[in-house]
Each structure stands twice: as C-alpha cells, then as structure tokens.
Structure 1
C-alpha cells in the first residue's frame, strides 16, 4: 500500500500583559506591541469590537481609542468601532456574529491586520471565534475587562459560541497575539461581577496550589471589600496558573478527555443552561465547586474540615453555594443528565476532577448518582 505521511509542528507564543490606563496617550504598551508585529511595507488595520456595557461605564472609552491611534502611521484604526452587547446572550445571538464578520469583510481586515476584542469573557469568546474563522484566521488581541476574563477565560486559547442549545458547541482553539489586562476596567465592575470571577481562582488553587488557596482564604474579606492590591495579586497568580497549565499539561487543544481546569464545571454548565444564563458563569462555578467538594467528602476523599474550609471561603466572599435548580430528584434529574452532556463536551470518556485534599486533585471516570443527590440535598438544606 502506498501512502504519504506529513508531520509538522508550529510553536505558539503569546504574552499576558498587565497595565493601567491602556489608552492614555503616554502608555506605549499597545503601540509597542503592534510595532513589534508590524509587517514591512504593509499598512495594517485595527478593528475594535467593544462590549456595550463597558463603553457605557467608561464614557470616554471610544474617544480614547480613537485618540490613541490618531497619529499612527504604520497602522490605522477602523473608524467604525463595533459595539455589541456583552454577557452570555452575545454567544447565543448570531446577529452579533454577523456584525463582526461583516465588519471584517467590509473593512478589508486580512491576516496582516488585527481584530481587538474588548470586554468580558463571553464577548472575547465570540470575537476570538470570528477572528479564527475569517480568512482561516486573522490576528487577534484580547483586552479582558472583568475579573473572570482577566484571570481565566481571556488568557487561554479557546473561542466559541453557543449553538443548538449547547454551550460552546461551535468553537476553535486559536491563541491570541496577546492578552492585555488593564486594571482600570475592574474599578467600574458591579459587585456581582467582581465576586463571580474569584471562583475560578479558588478552582485553580484547589487543584494546583494549596498555598494560593490559603492566601485566598486569608484575604477573602479584603477581596469581598474590593481591596485593589489583593485583587491584582489574585488575578496575576490565577492567570499564571492557567497559562502554565495550558503550556505545560501537554494537551493545550484538549484532544483528550482530561480537563483539570474544568473542576466544578460539569454541574456549573448545566446550571447556566437551566437558569437560561441568569446565573453567571463564575457564580455557577462556585456552586459546582461546592457540590463536588461535598461529593468528594461523601466519597471519602476529602476531610470534613477541608470541605468546610472551601464552602466557608465562598460564604465569606458572598457567593451562593447552591441554587434551587441544583437538585437531583427523580430518575430523570436535569442535574444528573448534565453528566452525560459533560461527557459529550469532553468528546469521549467521562473525566471528572475531584479533591483528595486542598491542592490535591484526582481524575475519576464515574460518579455515583446517589452521592450526587446526597451532596445536592445537603447544600440545599444548608441554605
């Protein structure tokens, strides 16, 4: 039998940059980034897609972006900044998808130009997906504006939209050119968004870094009270752990079924869907972590003391530990059905991360539905 075999590898490199007042005239960070990646003899364009909620909270934002690029010579800002809604709804509505794709087409954004997404994690998911499929991939820069996107979703390589009733059903793995975290955007966040993003830091600490969990535990009150320095450290450390995992775990594009960073997510994804996304992602992850911690305790893996410490952190932060929809009653419980949907999301064997201790995690491939019900009932009773 004759055949031809091809094999090649491509290194991916991107930086997560930290700054304040990104579009101030004396802040060279973005200009330096574009200059570093400038293609000689080609005039490059920059198309911004901005979260409507962020633009409303920062009244001068669009003007600041335009002023920042006013004197540029090697690249030019597309005058028509695309402003679209943020939040999970933007991943469910193809109208925004079409608007971004139309703008890329109408303004001639090619592979030498840039699409810059500025907003929360859902908007960045959408913008990254469109950038990845237009022309088979145009350069993409992320500017996350929430705690959740600055410490988790915005610093990774995944892009997606929801489709046919399934979360993240359409998507790509496409690393950005860079991620820029501007701390100034956090100042205008409502308390709900400020707190929700902390859950992903708790998550990664529980599976990777006990010392980080203990730091969060010691600083939970300061974080709840919006202590800036505490939040800056939390975001940096959480982003660092996520980025290291993506590059060092050996499966950055998730070709296998092992997803350690999805600890607490199997029920969180289902809760988001059941609540029609009224429960935000970070809130759902907090509840999912609590459910899996109680399950781990009931399964003899996690001590009662450690389980209580985890739940106590969320209570101190002011995050709910369960929801009325997180019930496991009856044979056809939507929550238990979420396990099957999560297996499909993994693309193969069911793989769930559970805790054997704080910072000590283990993958399992089966969940006892009776223990799931018991864990859910215990949390419901506690509330």
Structure 2
C-alpha cells in the first residue's frame, strides 16, 4: 500500500468595520478597502445586490452607489445593480440564486473582483453562497442592514440556501473579505425588525458573558425606545462575542458542537411551521425561552433565573409562545429535534444553560421533560 499524506492550512482574516453613511463621498472606508485588497495588477470589478426591502426604504441608494464609484478607474462598478427579495423567500426560491449567478457571469466578476450584498441575514446568506460556488469562489463583501445580521449572521462564516424544505441544506463555510456595519440602515427598520436581532445578543450573552446579559437587562427599555447609541453598543458587543467564539473554536463546524445555536433547534422548526411568518430572531426568542425552562426542569438553573430570562425577552416585546409548539402532542417539535440531529451529522448536540452566562452541551434530550417545558412556558405567559 502506498500513501501520500497531504496537510495544509489556509489562514482567514477579515475586518468588521463599523461606520455611518457608507456611500457618502466623504466616507472612504469602502473604496480604500477595495483599492488596497488583493493584486492591483488586475482590473477589479464590483457587483452590488440589494435586498428589495432595503431599496424601498432607501430610495436613493442605487444612485448613491453609482455616485460613489463615479470616476473610479481601478474599481469598475457593474452596470446593473440587482434588486432581489429579502427574507427566507430569497433562500427558498432557486430562481434568485440563478439570477445572482447569471449576473456574476454576465458582468465578468472573476476571482479578483467582488460581489457586495446589502441586506438582511437571509439575503446575505444567498448572495454569499452564490459567490462561493461561482468560479469556486469570488470575493464577497457583506453590508448587513438589520440588527440580527450586524450582530450575528453577517459577521460569521456561513452561507446557504434552503432546499428540500430544510433550512440551509445547501451551504458553505467561507468568510467574507470584509463586513461593513453601517448604522444608518438601522434607522429605517420596523419595530419588529429592530427588536428581532436582539434575541441573538441575549443568546450569546447567556452562554458566554453574564456581564453582557446584565447590561442587556439594564438597557432593554432603552433599546425598545430605539436609542441608536445603545443599539450600536449592543451590536458591537454581540458581534465581538460571536466572532471571538468562531475564531477560537471550530469555525467550520467539523464536529457536532454548535454552542452558538442555543435556542435554535426549536427556532428552525418554528420558522417552517409558521411558513416563515415568524422571523428568525423572533423564533430564536421562543427557543431561548423554551430551552431556559428546560434547563430549569433539569435542575441546572433556578426558576428565578428562567423567569429572569423570560422577563427580559418580554420587555423587549417578544411573543414567547406559538400554538405549533403543542400541536400533535408536541410531535412537530420532536420532528424538529430529529431534523436538527440530522443537520449535525447524526449525533445530537444542543446547548442548554449550566448557569446564566455559561452554556452546557448535551447529546440527549429528555423529550418528556421538553414537552413539560412547553406547557410550563405557556403557563408562565398566560
């Protein structure tokens, strides 16, 4: 027998830039990045795709982008700026992935060029996936426009689309070359979208940082009042915790542990059961509440701690129960658990709470106790 053993490492590094009014002529952050990234011996091009909901609220965005690149010779702006639907629709319908790939082809976006996505987390997921599979990978830039995408999904390394009725069945682990968090995009969010992403900050604080959870408790009402300075601090601290975990652990999830998915196994199923009427962050809030009550029933956290978590989520305005949790004697929920197990590669690993600020990984779920947790959660909210 002959064996050739090959091993190599590929370093990844990217910056998350916090800024305002990204396409103002006075703001040079983006153009300086493009000019100094990669080999200037090649003609660089950039293709922009915009989430339809963002375009509707920022009527002059495409004009601002064109003005920003006017006169640039080292960076050529693709003639067309694509506007596609956002939300799970863009991940569910393959026509939008195909449109993105056709645009990458038609405008000659090669491996020395860039695809920039402006939108929420689902939109960034789809465009990132298209970028990763075109030419075996063109450079993608994320410009998140929601709280959830700025503090969590947009600063990570995952891309994907939904397939066969399963969330992120098709996907890649491939970091963007840069993330630009422009706080001006947050100002036009609906109250529902403003609130939704805060659940991801609650999640990461509960499993990683008690002091941050206490800060979120203290500032919940100020976030509800849409104080932008407080929201910006929440986003920065949440993004830092998420990125620190990714870089220090298992960034491409070679194992089955997914601590950053605390509260998510139920959330993913709830999104589908509601036909995506429930936003991801709203479903995560329900999942956090459910797994917190379950952690209490296991004897890991006190009842007061579980209620403390629920109070913060309620203060933020989340609805923490949905009838589909109880349908068919909780069999829908059991199906969601089994789907999550399959997604992880056959071995279940979920995170529960050992205490506030510290997660604990488990490989089994006492489903009888989980069913009781659903009932207890409903009683708590009645």
TM over 0.5: same fold?
yes
State the partner residue of 2:302. 303
C-alpha separation between the residues in 1 aligned to 2:287 and 2:236?
23
CA contact (8 A) 1:203 1:264 kept: yes
C-alpha separation between the residues in 1 aligned to 2:79 and 2:12?
31
Residue 40 (structure 1) shift:
2.5
State the partner residue of 1:354. 352
State the partner residue of 1:280. 279
State the partner residue of 1:203. 203
C-alpha separation between the residues in 1 aligned to 2:53 and 2:238?
25
Residue 329 (structure 1) shift:
4.7
Residue 41 (structure 1) shift:
2.6
C-alpha separation between the residues in 2 aligned to 1:60 and 1:320?
35
C-alpha separation between the residues in 1 aligned to 2:358 and 2:58?
41
State the partner residue of 2:111. 111
**Deviation per CA, 1:60-115, whole angstroms, max 9, x where unpaired?**
10000000000211011001001100111110011111111000111111000000
C-alpha separation between the residues in 2 aligned to 1:361 and 1:138?
36
The SS at the match of 2:150 is: helix
CA RMSD of aligned residues (A): 0.9
State the partner residue of 1:37. 37
2:378 to 359, 377, 380: 380
**Deviation per CA, 1:268-319, whole angstroms, max 9, x where unpaired?**
0000011111110000000000000000111111111111110000110011
Number of equivalent positions: 381
The SS at the match of 2:112 is: coil
C-alpha separation between the residues in 1 aligned to 2:282 and 2:315?
14
Residue 42 (structure 1) shift:
1.6
Matches within 5 A, 1:287-326: 287-326=286-325
CA contact (8 A) 1:328 1:336 kept: no
Residue 352 (structure 1) shift:
1.0
State the partner residue of 1:127. 127
C-alpha separation between the residues in 2 aligned to 1:155 and 1:313?
25
The SS at the match of 1:301 is: coil
C-alpha separation between the residues in 2 aligned to 1:345 and 1:183?
34
The SS at the match of 1:87 is: coil
1:181 matched to 2:214: no
Residue 38 (structure 1) shift:
4.3
C-alpha separation between the residues in 2 aligned to 1:68 and 1:362?
48
Unaligned runs of 5+ in 2: none
C-alpha separation between the residues in 2 aligned to 1:38 and 1:336?
48
State the partner residue of 2:363. 365
Shift in CA distance, 370/329, structure 1 to aligned 2, threshold 3 Å: farther
C-alpha separation between the residues in 1 aligned to 2:242 and 2:262?
13
Matches within 5 A, 1:1-383: 1-249=1-249, 251-327=250-326, 329-330=328-329, 333-381=331-379, 382-383=381-382
**Deviation per CA, 1:247-281, whole angstroms, max 9, x where unpaired?**
001x1000110000000000000000111111100
C-alpha separation between the residues in 2 aligned to 1:84 and 1:197?
22
The SS at the match of 1:366 is: coil
C-alpha separation between the residues in 2 aligned to 1:272 and 1:141?
27
**TM-score (ref. length: structure 2):** 0.98
C-alpha separation between the residues in 2 aligned to 1:55 and 1:328?
38
C-alpha separation between the residues in 2 aligned to 1:156 and 1:116?
16
The SS at the match of 2:24 is: coil
Residue 4 (structure 1) shift:
1.0
**Deviation per CA, 1:108-133, whole angstroms, max 9, x where unpaired?**
11000000011000000000000000
Residue 346 (structure 1) shift:
1.1
**Deviation per CA, 1:7-50, whole angstroms, max 9, x where unpaired?**
11010000111000000000000011001114223211100010
